[in-house]
């Protein structure tokens, strides 16, 4: 630059220019020939022409010589423009390709004029700003990326917000139809498809049934609704078998799929011009509750908002459908149950524990209480409590509990089965009922109330009472003449043994009179026992006895009496001389055993064998017990009659009607055995004989030594 700036004033300027990081060069304005440049400019030239040293500009060459490269051509154009216009040129961040790399330069051309305003020189300044530009570009890229991520997050947030709104509008729906309408509303409102169809699975999981659909009024599509889609043979695009389809299906463009032969071009959806298509199976806890098909007139993005909202809402749709289905079936069951309860002849009441009001009553209850049904419901229990005096509560000499007391006990948590209860009716009359009562617990195990079921047994009880009165009179009236007959018979029999010579017929007659009157006494005794049981007066006189002695003695007595049968005694698991101590009513147990042996004799042919057995069950874990049995080879019992054989007055079909009997013996035997804490049961085959078994708890077993 020294040739240009000879003066001393420019001496410092020259030094400054030489060391400035900005490249400075001076060109002749007339021919654009390079005249001078500083070392920074030199650095630029070295870099730029590193791969093409033959083109390198040197002092004396013009910029026109650079025209080998697009960048250089452009630079040459700029020089020419400044040369022609005399206007300075300034371009910040002008890109230059330096080898493979791209660099950026602040580029400036400044024309210099002489006193006559003639352009003499053009000064070029170049400043390498590549690093700043790259840093800025990087920052911009980072900003763009962060914008993209924040856009994504925003779109996710919007999707979640939509899904939340969808879930909210399903929350309170309980009917399948309402749920379906809410689903359709949520989808059509938020993602604007051209058509949505919702299906629910049928109860036996064989097909999808159409519930409801929505078609966008501005849509051109004309797809008609499918009413029934069998699980196995579906015509839905891309769904070969519904039960195997667990994931949603999204097809961005059905038309394109048809062109690529992924779907039949004749398919109804393709023909209807549908583009975007979604099929969403709605699974909840391994059960397919239904499905959704969503159609669009435009293509959809399988990762776009529509697909994400649908995918995210699936679980809510499925659980809403499942909940509605369960609610439906619970309501249905409830209404069946209610219909059954309403129709039952038994009276049923439900009393709430919170306030003691009657929350349910059937017609039977209204009838028994003597009120209209609507007058009972929602009213406190005590409104219907007709006061009962001690007299009202007494029946046949017994005290009967008022029904409200039984309800109160249930409200305190007690379960009561088949208890007699007195009901005072609105008209002032009384009814005897058989009542069962139980507390009702809610899900949290807190008592909500109590249910009482009762039936009017007044008529039965009155008849029973009359019968009992009759029995006790009959017993009294019959016993006296029978005792007299038996007394005289015994006198005559004694006389016959002493002096009087009676003929055989008379002796036979006397024996028959004695046997029959004994039989009659036995029968009256049994009748009396039944009426004692009914009046809760049947008691046992229990003492400690040796069961083995009782059995062997009873057996021996029966063996002597049974003239036409062979009786055999079996003792199992009993050591000689052992004492089987039991706390028993000896007399009643003897009667029971006699009864069983008597039946075995009565219901088997003469000459057959009867086995009487006793066995001890010694189990270290449990108390010892005695098992006894009476086995015959007689007529047996039909299997359908076995469950009734211990019922009062029950006689089997195969009994010869000429055989005497009332069907009360077994009932009494069972009563006696169970009151001793034992069990009674029978094994029998019709025509092949029967074995009656009984068990009795043993208090102790003492060895005979
Ligand atoms: P009854 O013998 O007076 O009829 P029970 O109460 O003793 O009354 O017996 C009831 C019914 O059980 C009998 O009528 C008979 O049908 C049947 N039954 C009882 N014992 C036997 C038996 N050993 N074999 C076949 N049937 C029997």
> In this predicted model, what pLDDT tens digit does every residue of 156-181 receive, in sequence order?
888 788 778 777 777 777 788 888 88
Please check whether the two domains, 152-330 and 344-456, share a CATH topology. Answer: yes
Residue 661's CB: how many other CB atoms inside 10 A? 14
Handedness of CA 516, 522, 527, 528 (dihedral sign): positive
Would the CB of 665 count as within 6 Å of ligand 1?
yes
C-alpha–C-alpha distance, residues 333 and 336, integer Å: 5
pLDDT at position 100, please?
A: 73
Domain 543-703 architecture: 2-Layer Sandwich (3.30)
CA of 668 to the centre of ligand 1 (A): 12
- Report which protein residue has its CA nearest ligand 1's atom 2: 661
Q: Where are the beta strands (DSSP E) in 30-136?
A: 34-37, 89-98, 101-113, 119-128
What distance in Å separates the CA atoms of residue 346 and residue 344, rounded to the nearest whole number?
A: 5
pTM above 0.85, yes or no: no
CATH code for the domain defined by 462-534: 1.20.58
Q: CATH homologous superfamily of domain 8-128?
A: PAS domain (3.30.450.20)
Question: For residue 698, with 0-12 CB atoms within 10 Å meaning exposed, 13-18 middle and 19 or more buried, which class applies?
Answer: buried
| Cα-Cα end-to-end distance for the chain | 147
436/454 Cα distance (integer angstroms): 6
Given a contact cutoff of 8 angstroms between Cβ atoms, the answer to whether 457 and 419 are in contact is no
Measured from the CA of 664, which atom of ligand 1 is nearest? Answer: 6
Per-residue confidence (pLDDT) for residue 189, from 0 to 100: 80
Query: Does residue 601 line the site of ligand 1, with CB under 6 A?
Result: no
Cβ distance 648 to 667 under 8 Å?
yes
- Looking from the CA of residue 632, the nearest atom of ligand 1 is 23
Nearest CA to ligand 1 atom 23: 600
Residues in the chain, pLDDT under 70 = 1-11, 13, 55-56, 66-71, 98-99, 221, 384-386, 500, 620, 704-705
pLDDT of residue 67: 56
Q: Where are the domains of the chain?
A: 8-128, 152-330, 344-456, 462-534, 543-703
Q: How far apart are CA 462 and CA 452, in angstroms?
A: 23
Q: What CATH number should be reported for the domain whose range is 152-330?
A: 3.30.450.40
Q: What is the pLDDT at residue 506?
A: 87
Nearest-atom index, ligand 1, CA of 660? 3
User: Longest Cα pair distance anywhere in the chain, in angstroms?
Assistant: 195
Helical packing angle, 504-534 and 458-498, nearest 10°: 150
In sequence order, the 6+-apart residues with CB closer than 8 A to the CB of 705 are 577
| Choices 3.40.50.360, 3.30.450.20, 3.40.50.300, 3.30.300.30: CATH for 344-456 | 3.30.450.20
Q: What is the pLDDT of residue 558?
A: 92
**89 contacts: CB under 8 Å, gap ≥ 6:** 78, 81, 82, 107, 108, 109
Distance of alpha carbon 659 from alpha carbon 595, whole angstroms? 15
Task: Name the nearest CA neighbour of 316 among 506, 187, 474.
Answer: 187
In this predicted structure, what is the pLDDT of residue 161? Answer: 80
Contacts of 303 (CB under 8 A, 6+ apart): none
pLDDT at 235: 78
């Amino acid at each position: 630059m020294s040739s240009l700036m000879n003066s001393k004033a420019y001496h410092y300027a020259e030094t400054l220019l030489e060391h400035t990081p900005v490249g400075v060069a001076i060109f002749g304005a007339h021919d654009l020939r390079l005249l001078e440049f500083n070392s920074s400019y030199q650095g630029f030239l070295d870099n730029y022409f590193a791969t093409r040293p033959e083109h390198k500009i040197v002092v004396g060459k013009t910029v026109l010589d650079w025209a080998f490269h697009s960048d250089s051509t452009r630079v040459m154009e700029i020089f020419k423009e400044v040369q022609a216009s005399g206007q300075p040129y300034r371009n910040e961040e002008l890109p230059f390709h330096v080898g493979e790399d791209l660099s950026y330069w602040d580029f400036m051309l400044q024309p210099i004029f002489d006193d006559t305003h003639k352009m003499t020189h053009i000064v070029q300044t170049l400043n390498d700003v590549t690093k700043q530009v790259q840093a800025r570009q990087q920052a911009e890229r980072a900003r763009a990326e962060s914008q993209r991520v924040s856009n994504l997050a925003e779109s996710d947030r919007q999707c979640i917000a939509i899904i939340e709104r969808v879930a909210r509008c399903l929350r309170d729906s309980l009917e399948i139809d309402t749920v379906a309408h809410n689903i359709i509303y949520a989808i059509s409102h938020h993602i604007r498809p051209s058509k949505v169809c919702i299906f629910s699975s049928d109860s036996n999981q064989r097909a999808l049934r159409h519930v409801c659909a929505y078609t966008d009024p501005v849509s051109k599509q004309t797809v008609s609704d499918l009413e029934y889609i069998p699980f196995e043979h579906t015509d839905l695009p891309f769904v070969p078998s519904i039960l195997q389809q667990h994931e949603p299906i999204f097809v961005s463009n059905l038309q394109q799929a048809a062109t690529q032969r992924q779907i039949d071009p004749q398919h109804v959806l393709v023909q209807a011009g549908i583009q975007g298509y979604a099929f969403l199976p709605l699974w909840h806890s391994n059960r397919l509750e239904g499905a959704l098909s969503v159609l669009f007139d435009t293509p959809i993005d399988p990762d776009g908002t529509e697909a994400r909202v649908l995918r995210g809402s699936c679980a809510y749709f499925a659980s809403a459908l499942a909940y509605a289905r369960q609610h439906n079936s619970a309501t249905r069951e409830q209404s069946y149950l209610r219909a059954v309860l309403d129709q039952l002849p038994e009276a049923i009441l439900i009393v709430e524990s919170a306030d003691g009001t009657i929350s349910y009553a059937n017609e039977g209850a209204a009838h028994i209480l003597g009120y209209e049904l609507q007058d009972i419901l929602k009213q406190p229990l005590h409104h219907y409590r007709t006061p009962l005096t001690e007299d009202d509560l007494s029946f046949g000499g017994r005290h009967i509990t008022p029904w409200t007391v039984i309800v109160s006990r249930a409200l305190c948590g007690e379960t009561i089965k088949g208890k007699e209860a007195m009901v005072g009716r609105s008209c002032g009359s009384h009814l005897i009922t058989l009542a069962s009562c139980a507390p009702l617990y809610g899900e949290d195990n807190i008592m909500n109330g109590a249910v009482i079921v009762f039936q009017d047994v007044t008529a039965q009880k009155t008849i029973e009472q009359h019968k009992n009165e009759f029995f006790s009179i009959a017993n009294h009236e019959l016993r006296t003449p029978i005792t007299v007959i038996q007394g005289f018979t015994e006198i005559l029999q004694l006389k016959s043994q002493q002096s009087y010579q009676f003929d055989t017929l008379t002796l036979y007659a006397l024996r028959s009179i004695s046997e029959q009157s004994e039989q009659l006494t036995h029968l009256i005794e049994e009748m009396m026992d039944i009426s004692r049981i009914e009046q809760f007066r049947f008691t046992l006189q229990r003492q400690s006895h040796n069961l083995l002695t009782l059995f062997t003695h009873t057996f021996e007595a029966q063996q002597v009496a049974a003239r036409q049968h062979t009786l055999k005694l079996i003792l199992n698991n009993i050591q000689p001389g052992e004492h089987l101590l039991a706390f028993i009513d000896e007399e009643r147990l003897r009667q029971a055993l006699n009864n069983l042996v008597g039946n075995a004799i009565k219901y088997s042919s003469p000459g057959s064998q009867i086995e009487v057995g006793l066995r001890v069950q010694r189990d270290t874990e449990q108390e010892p017990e005695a098992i006894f049995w009476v086995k015959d080879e007689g007529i047996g019992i039909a299997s359908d009659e076995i469950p009734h054989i211990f019922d009062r007055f029950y006689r089997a079909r195969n009994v010869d009607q000429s055989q005497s009997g009332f069907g009360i013996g077994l009932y009494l035997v069972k009563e006696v055995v169970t009151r001793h804490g034992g069990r009674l049961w029978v094994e029998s085959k019709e025509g092949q004989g029967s074995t009656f078994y009984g068990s009795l708890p043993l208090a102790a077993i003492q060895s005979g030594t």
